[in-house]
């Protein structure tokens, strides 16, 4: 359940800004993130716009620099983040070891 700002905690009860309350076991406080790439020069071709990296092939490889890849780009969905690490690392390994050949359009 998503609720507004917690004003006060009393044992297992959270009291919210609008003076409602709920009994709680856990509170997840999520602050979000802002994606930046200060370590890359503009020459690499990867840009961030609206918190989205582009242009990337399969959300991993730089289209303009095929030897540049990103594994585990933050995602808003935890399962997708896991899959990005799991399959992204396998994919990138196959690219580096040349066992994967990109099809030409």
* Residues 54-81: tens digit of each pLDDT: 888 877 788 888 788 887 666 554 545 5
52 and 84 in a single domain? The answer is yes
Domain range holding 89? 42-96
Q: What is the mean pLDDT of the chain?
A: 76
The kind and range of the H/E element at 52 are strand 52-54
61 and 83 in a single domain? The answer is yes
Look at residue 105 in the predicted model and tell me its pLDDT: 41
Look at residue 82 in the predicted model and tell me its pLDDT: 55
Average pLDDT over residues 95-103: 59
∠ CA 53-33-89, nearest 5°, is 50
Residue 47 pLDDT exceeds 70: yes
Quote the number of domains for the chain: 2
The reply to whether 72 falls in a domain is yes
Residue 25 pLDDT exceeds 80: yes
- Whether 58 contacts 49, CB under 8 Å: no
């Amino acid at each position: 359940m998503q609720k507004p700002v917690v004003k006060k905690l009393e044992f297992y009860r959270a009291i919210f800004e609008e003076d409602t309350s709920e009994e709680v076991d856990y509170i997840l406080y999520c602050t979000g993130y802002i994606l930046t790439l200060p370590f890359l020069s503009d020459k690499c071709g990867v840009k961030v716009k609206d918190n989205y990296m582009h242009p990337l092939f399969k959300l991993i490889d730089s289209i303009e620099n095929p030897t540049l890849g990103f594994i585990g780009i933050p995602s808003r969905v935890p399962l997708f983040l896991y899959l990005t690490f799991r399959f992204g690392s396998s994919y990138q390994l196959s690219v580096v070891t040349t066992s994967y050949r990109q099809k030409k359009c």
